[in-house]
Amino acid sequence: MTIKRYYHPSPNPAKVALYLEETGLPYEVVAVDTRRGDAWAQLPNVKRLLDEINARPAAQRAEALKTQHSFKAEMDESARQAMFPQNARLAPSTGATA
């Protein structure tokens, strides 16, 4: 049996990918681009579940927390380096080594 693995290159999905690689379990990768809304087209039941969770008063209060603090909103190169430091070692080499 092969696991169908829905993947987006963000920290939590990367943890699952690491687990699967470490265990050697067979899996098939299905890329999901959440910024384009792929998760909703491919996974309508997940969307329904998240809509139900987000409608709860506690979830709405938790969501409101982000308005109480100032966070960087841009996903620029410095943000990518901070959020995904593992990508630096995955990038192709662009120069000679010493």
Q: Which pLDDT tens digit goes with each residue over 38-96?
A: 777 777 888 898 899 999 999 999 888 878 888 888 889 998 889 888 888 877 766 65
Indicate whether 97 pLDDT > 70: no
Distance of CA 68 to the CA centre of its chain: 24
Q: Compute the CA torsion angle 50, 55, 48, 40 (nearest 10 deg).
A: -60
Specify the pLDDT at position 32: 83
Euclidean distance between CA atoms 37 and 70, whole angstroms: 26
Euclidean distance between CA atoms 31 and 4, whole angstroms: 10
Q: Which pLDDT tens digit goes with each residue over 4-30?
A: 988 887 778 888 989 999 999 999 998
